[in-house]
Each structure stands twice: as structure tokens, then as C-alpha cells.
Amino acid sequence: MTDGATRCARAYRRFIAFIFCCWIANIAGARSANADEPPAPLASVAPAAATTTSPAPIASATAPAAANPANVPASPEPSPAAPTGRRLAAFRVDAKRIAFYSNRYVMEADGNVVVTLGDGTRITGKTFFYDLRLNRFVIAGGIRLRAANADLPGAAFAEYFDFDRAYFIPVLARPDRWTFASGDYAHPLFGREQPGDTFFLPDLSGERVFLYSKRALVDPHQSVRFTPASINLGPAFVPFPSYFLTYSPNEYFAQNALPGAFADGPLDFAGGEHALATAHVRYDSVDKIFPALEVHQVSDNHYIVVSANTLTRPLKTYNLEAYDRITPALQFQAFVQETAFGHGFSQPLSATAFASYRLTQALPHSFLQLSDVQYYQSLLARPSTFVIGPSGPVYYYEDPSHDFIPDHPNTVSLSWVGFRHPLGRLPLSFQLRSSFGASDNALTPLQSLGGVNYRKEYYKAVGANLTTKTLTLLADRSGRHRDLYLTGTLDKQRQWFSLPHHVDTTVASASLTKVFDPQVTLLASYSNINTGDFYGAQQSLAYPPAASYYNYYTGQSLQLSPAFRGFGTTRSFNQSLVFTPSQAVAALITMREDRDFPRPLPGTLQLVGDGLGFVNYGFSPYELDLDARFRFTRVLLIDVSRSYFFNFGGFERWAPQFSVQIEK
């Protein structure tokens, strides 16, 4: 077992190293493709082919007479939606001052502005604006357009990358309006109507500048690297060598592999179209302020996110989150977590790991899911030091607090889940499911009964769910929609174990909703959960009076009600009042009442997530939750919520929570 754990640890580290190498390679590739290297020189770029019949090429500004307004060229067809090519791949902006407005996703540049497109075309001017989301820019004031086949003065130039159109106001003998299609500056389309807001300059008065820079390298729809960057951190602008901004439409960049923290300040510092590296400054009540690192590697169909948390503390957590849509009907998900205690990055004194893998195959009207969960209680080889305990030697690393536990519990299951189907013409739908699996721990028994230890268990399960549609009980004919609605659900599941025993779970719930006004809604719900663990003749053996139960997560043994024989009930009654007078204000009041058996155990102070907190077993009998949200600006939202526990265990009264959320 020891050797196996060590092999697992090595394999795991190799896997991490492999992912890291892949990421480095990706970063390098992205950089060589479009990053800091200046665009190719003009001479090396061939002009784009003209798409239509056009007037004679304009070689330079000295020959404006060649343009014959009467000779209107034929209109080209709209270009493909996503044209490619170096000209549209990336561009660079240099200026005396570049400002980025994160609330608007607009970049502004002033003073000696030079825009260099991917094909080497250079446009100089006084003022520049780029809308990152619309992917179009305008540069104005004393324009000079220099391309391989054109050298033109102008008043303004606008580039619509997504449509492969550029609009230009040349300054020749008299002004004019030209349109360039597909980057063909030698064949302008004279007089062609231009979009109404082509040359509008955004009004950014009152907007907050996020950073100032002098150079921006833009990868449209993906990222911008600002070099250098003075970032607005509130009281002051703090200089950084560079800042990497990603605004990719790929939501996989938002996947988070870091554990929770009270506060987190991310700083993206490297990346490309498919990769992103982020440094975090975090705070929690245990480790205080500490750095962390997170790396994304994504594509349209996969992501790998690796994180290292509390880099400067002995207890470090390394997470890996992965997803791959192998085919449109097959996906793989993995989450691997290693927790190591060590000083610096030397050999840790202890290391544990948790891994969860899930393979999902879509089927017609159902899907299959293969799940595997593995715990590695100790990834390290068995140490030589030990003390003699009650049941033999207990090995440890350096000191007995870092004990060696070679356990490796794991569970494998295969589940089938059907689609939701309507039940005839009734306002009901049903869903079926089934599963079988096995759990194993070669060392510590999963369960003991009658003096027999069970290290391996098999199970199979079936379940069904019946749900109503939202039923209108009382319809309001006045047209003010003050209706009364009812919803209900019934869920029944049975699980057979090899031990043998079986567990029945029945969940019944219903909710009533009364709309008093479009802005005021009152909800009431009731749910009843019955769980029974049936051991037959061995019921009292499995659930003896005054038994204590061990929680593997918290490591605590708990004393439940002496009357508990394996049959529990949870009954909850919820009442909520939702008040949304406008988009800017919302309030929610919820009152919850619970009647549980066995009775709940009040909170004990434990390490939870990012700090210490109260962990209750079961629900407190009464709970009041208040929540209010206020939107002050387009992007600033204040959310205040508080929970009140009515003398539950004598520990808690208010559990306040206050959050400020930036919403765009």
C-alpha cells in the first residue's frame, strides 16, 4: 500500500508537471504568434486582393485626381463574418498616454498615436478610441495612413475588424468619404454610405480609469497586454511592468480552481488566446494575507485549471480542475486536490489527495455517468519513525502531528438518468434513474456490524421523481396577474447494499406562490424528507441506543438521540416575501421553520473553507434571513444580508454578511 501511494504521488506530480509544460508551450506559442513581436515590415506584406471592380489604384496622396467620383464602383457583397488573416489578427497601439476604462471596456489613446495593424499598415493620429467588445476603433486628427500600396493623409480612420471594413475621411483637394474592403487601401469605394456612428468618439467623462499605459498589444476578442501599466488601486496608481487583460468570450477562463477566501485580488500577468496566468493576493482568517497562483489552459471544448494556494504558508493546497468535451455527446471532468504541509517547496512532511473523475455519455432520452472518487490519506512513503500506540506502531513524519495514514478509500459508480417526460396529458412529468457501484477501503473498514468489519461494499439503487408544472390555482381575471400558483414534487429512492440493508428516501414538497403585484410576491413551501435505513432483524445492532457516529470530514464523533433507530425525518416550512420595486432595488425576507428527528445538533466551531465557522448538524428550528440589494451605478451593486438564529444552541444570534458586488 505504501509503495502504491508513493507511485500515485509520483504519477500525480508527473501529471502536474506535464500540464505545466503544456501551458508553458502554449504561452510560448501564443506569444510567437501574436504577442510582443512587432508586426511584419510593410514590404513583406502583399496587398489584399480587391474584391470588386474598382477605380484605378491611388498610389499616394499626391495623385488625388485619379479618383473619379462619378466612376462609382460596384458594391461588394458583405464580407464573411469572421475573416482571418494577419491584418485582423492583432494590432498594436503606441501613444503618449493610453487609458483603459474597465467599466466600458474602452481604450483611449492621446498624443502621437501610432496604430500598427497585423499586416504592417500604420495609422498615425492624435486621438484613438477602441471598443474592445465591438472590436472597432477610430483614430482622428491629422491622420496618416501608410500601407504597402497607399500613403494618404486624412481627418479620421475607423476600422471595423469583425466586418473587415475600414472607413476613411481623406484630406485631399477636398474632403471625401472612402470605404476600404478587406484591407485593400489601393481601391477605395468612393462615396459609399458609412455607418452613422463610425467616427463618434465615446464620452468618457465621469468614467473611472482602470490603468494608464503607453503601449497596448490587442488580440481582438481575446486579450490586451498593456506595457507598462499604472493600475488604479483606489488611493493611487501603482506602476507595474505590464498588465494582461483577458476578455475572451470563452467562459472557461472564469473557471476557478482556488479554494474559498474572504477576499481575493487577482492580477493577470501572462497569457494568450488559450492560456492565462493569474497571481492572487488573498486573505482569510487563518492564513491572513498570502499569495496564490492560478493558471488556465482553455479551448472551445476543454479547460485545465491549476492552482496553488497559500504559497507562503506551510499548509499548501494544489488543485487541478479539468474538463474535456471529447465529442458532443461525451465529456470528461476531473478534480484533483493535493494538500501538503511543508516549509517552502521542500519535501513535505505530510501530503494527502482527493480525486474525483466523471465521464458522461449522452444517450437518446437519457445519459450514463461513470464516477470515481479516490482519497489518498498519505501520498508519501512510510517514514521510519514511529511510536507504539494501542494497536501497534504509529508512523509519523518529523513529529507525531504529521502521522502516516496509508488508507485509500474509493468509490466507483455507474448511473443512468433519464430525461424528464410528461405524464400523459396531466400537468405532471416524471424522471427515472438507477445506479450501481462499489466502495472500498483496504485498511480501515467502511463499517462494522456484529463484530464483522466490512472493507468493501456494493450497492444498487433506483429512483423516480414526479413533478407538477406550475399550476394556477386562482387566476386573476382583472389583468393584474394577482394569481395563486402551486408546484409540487415527489421523489422516491431505494438503495440496496451488500451488507445487507437498504435505505429508502422519500422527499415530498409543495409550494404556493401568491402574486400581489408584479413587484411583490409571497411564497410558502413545505417539504418532508423521510429517510429509513432498514436492517431487519439487525436494526438494533446497527442503531444501538445512544450510539455515536463518526463524521469523516470533521473527524468528530456525535451523540444522536437515544431514540434514533435509523429512521429520520426533516420537515421544513419556508415563507418568503420578494419585493422588487425596480431593477435597482430588491429585497427578500425568508422565515424558515424546521422540525427534525433526530433533533439537530447546534454548531460547533470548526475549520470551514476559508476560516472558522459554526457547523450545524441538521437545521436550526427557526431562522430568519434578510437580504437587500441596491444598485447605485450601472456596475456597482451592494448586497446586504443577515441571518438570525432564534437561540439555537445558545451560540448564535445574527450571522451577518455584507458584500459589495461589481456587476456589469
Partner 1 sequence: MIERLRRASYLLTALLALWLANAGAAAPGQIAAASIPTPADSAVMQTPPPLSATATPSPSGRVVKYSGQILDYGGGFVYFTTGDAFALDAAVKIDDAATGGPTKLTPQTRLYARASFDTGSGAVVELALSTKKLPDEASYDDVKKFAVALSTPFPNPDLVAGEGFNGKPVPVTFLVEVPAKTPFSDQIYLATDASGWSSTAVRMDRVDGLHYRVTRSFASGTRLLYRYTRGSWQSADVDQNGIAMKPRVLVVKNADYRVVRDIVYNWQDEDPFAPDNGSTLPTPFNPVPFNIPPHH
* Whole-angstrom distance, CA of residue 601 vs CA of residue 605: 12
Site membership for partner 1, residue 78 (CB under 8 A): yes
Q: What is the dihedral of CA 495, 496, 500, 504, to 10 degrees?
A: 40
Pick from 242, 467, 538, 604: which binds partner 1 (CB under 8 A)? 467
| 378 binding partner 1? (CB under 8 A) | no
Query: Which of 330-364 are b and which e, b meaning 16 or more Cβ less than 10 Å from the residue's Cβ?
Result: ebebbbbbbbbbbeeeeebbbbbbebebbbbeeee
Contact set for partner 1, span 297-316 (CB under 8 A)? none
Q: Which one, 23 or 318, has the nearer CB to partner 1?
A: 318
Examine residue 173 and tell whether it contacts partner 1 (CB under 8 A): yes
Nearer to partner 1, 241 or 553 (CB): 553
Q: Are 458 and 436 in contact (CB under 8 A)?
A: yes
Site for partner 1 in 248-277 (CB under 8 A): 249, 251, 253-256, 259-260
Site size toward partner 1 (CB under 8 A) is 153
Question: Does 531 engage in binding with partner 1 (CB under 8 A)?
Answer: yes
Which one of residues 1, 10, 60, 200 is an interface residue with partner 1 (CB under 8 A)? 200
| Least CB distance to partner 1 at residue 37 (A) | 28
Give the nearest distance from C-beta 384 to partner 1 in angstroms.
Answer: 29
SS3 assignment, position 254: helix
- Residues 602-631 close enough to bind partner 1 by CB under 8 A: 609, 615-619, 625, 629
Would you give the DSSP letter of residue 171? B
Is residue 638 at the binding interface for partner 1, with CB under 8 A as the rule? no
Q: From the list 60, 285, 540, 551, which residue makes contact with partner 1 (rule: CB under 8 A)?
A: 551
**What are the CA-CA distances from residue 369 to residues 359, 360, 415, 497, 563 (Å)?**
6, 4, 5, 20, 38
**Exposure string for 68-100, b = 16+ CB within 10 A, e = fewer:** eeeeebeebeeeeeebeebbbbbbbbbbeebbb
Residue 302: strand pairing partners: 324
Binding mask 152-171 for partner 1 (x = CB under 8 A): ---xx------x-x-x-x-x
Give 148 or 319: the residue with its C-beta nearer to partner 1: 319
| Cα four-point dihedral sign 513, 514, 518, 521 | negative
Q: Please pick, from the candidates 179, 182, 378, 620, the single residue that binds partner 1 as defined by CB under 8 A.
A: 179
Q: Which of 442, 558, 591, 626 binds partner 1 (CB under 8 A)?
A: 558
User: Considering the complex, what minimum distance in angstroms separates the CB of residue 28 from partner 1?
Assistant: 26
- Residue in this structure with the C-alpha cell 451592494, named with its chain if needed: 638
Of 3-11, 33-41, 226-234, 354-362, the segment contacting partner 1 by CB under 8 A is 354-362
Type and span of the H or E element at 17: helix 2-34
3-class DSSP state for residue 134?
Answer: coil
Nearer to partner 1, 157 or 397 (CB): 157
Is 423 a residue that touches partner 1 (CB under 8 A)?
A: no
**Least distance to partner 1, CB of residue 304, Å:** 14
Nearer to partner 1, 390 or 552 (CB): 552
One residue of 3, 43, 49, 77 binding partner 1 per CB under 8 A: 77
Q: Which of residues 125-154 bind partner 1 (CB under 8 A)?
A: 125-127, 133, 140-143
- Judged by CB under 8 A, the stretch of 89-97, 188-196, 209-217, 644-652 that binds partner 1 is 188-196
Grid cell listed for 277: 496566468
| Window 482 to 521, contacts with partner 1 (CB under 8 A) | 485, 487-489, 491, 493, 495, 497, 503, 505, 507, 509-511, 513, 521
What is the three-class DSSP state of 483?
Answer: coil
Partnered with residue 465 across adjacent β-strands are 431, 491
Among 335, 341, 386, 396, binds partner 1 (CB under 8 A): 335
Tell me which stretch binds partner 1 (CB under 8 A): 11-19, 32-40, 195-203, 276-284.
Answer: 195-203
In angstroms, what is the minimal distance from the CB of 652 to partner 1? 16
How far, in Å, CA of 158 to CA of 143, rounded?
Answer: 11
* Beta strand spans in 299-409 (E): 302-309, 315-327, 330-341, 350-363, 366-376, 386-389, 392-395
Decide if residue 663 touches partner 1 (CB under 8 A). Answer: yes
CB of 263 to partner 1, least distance (A): 15
CA dist 127 and 305 (Å) reads 39
Q: Helix H segments across 308-426?
A: none
Q: Which residues of 185-207 are buried (b: 16+ CB within 10 A; e: fewer)?
A: bbbbbbebebeeebbeeeeeeee
In the complex, what is the shortest distance from the CB of residue 388 to partner 1, in angstroms, rounded to a whole number? 28
658 binds partner 1 (CB under 8 A): no
Instruction: Please give the single-letter amino acid code of residue 45.
Output: V
Tell which positions 7-36 bind partner 1, by CB under 8 A.
none
Question: 381 vs 486, which CB is nearer to partner 1?
Answer: 486
Q: Shortest gap between Cβ of 421 and partner 1 (angstroms)?
A: 11
Instruction: Yes or no: say if 123 and 143 are a contact pair by the CB < 8 Å rule.
Output: yes
Q: Under rule CB under 8 A, which residues in 79-98 are in contact with partner 1?
A: none
Can you tell me the distance from the alpha carbon of 183 to that of 50, in angstroms, rounded to the nearest whole number? 9
Considering the complex, what minimum distance in angstroms separates the CB of residue 32 from partner 1?
27
**Span 561-600, contacts to partner 1 by CB under 8 A:** 564, 566, 568, 570, 572, 574, 576, 578, 580, 583, 586, 588, 590, 592, 596, 598
Q: Under a CB-based contact definition with an 8 Å cutoff, are residues 144 and 170 in contact? A: no
The reply to whether 470 sits near partner 1 by the rule CB under 8 A is yes
Cβ proximity to partner 1, 172 vs 442, nearer residue: 172
Q: Which stretch binds partner 1 (CB under 8 A): 230-238, 280-288, 379-387, 531-539?
A: 531-539
Nearer to partner 1 by Cβ, of 290 and 459: the residue is: 459
CB of 237 to partner 1, least distance (A): 22
532 binds partner 1, rule: CB under 8 A: yes
Q: Which is nearer to partner 1, 383 or 618 (CB)?
A: 618
The nearest distance, CB 171 to partner 1, in angstroms, is 6
The three grid cell numbers given for residue 367, joined into one nine-digit string: 445519459
- What is the spatial distance between Cα 82 and Cα 309, in angstroms, rounded to a whole number? 39
Using CB under 8 A as the binding rule, whether residue 415 contacts partner 1 is answered as: yes
Question: Cis before residue 364, ω within 30 degrees of 0?
Answer: no
CA distances (Å), origin 360, targets 369, 413, 596: 4, 12, 36
Stretch that binds partner 1, among 20-28, 207-215, 228-236, 555-563 (CB under 8 A): 555-563
Estimate to the nearest angstrom the gap between the alpha carbon of 619 and the chain centroid. Answer: 29
Min. distance of Cβ 203 from partner 1 in angstroms? 7
Question: Is the separation of the CB atoms in 483 and 472 below 8 Å?
Answer: yes
Q: Residue 26: count other Cβ atoms within 10 Å of its Cβ.
A: 19
Contact (Cβ atoms closer than 8 angstroms) between residue 273 and residue 30: yes
Q: Quick one: which of 138, 117, 260, 278 has its CA closest to 185?
A: 117
Cβ 552 to partner 1 shortest distance, Å: 4
Task: Copy the grid coordinates of residue 457.
Answer: 461494499
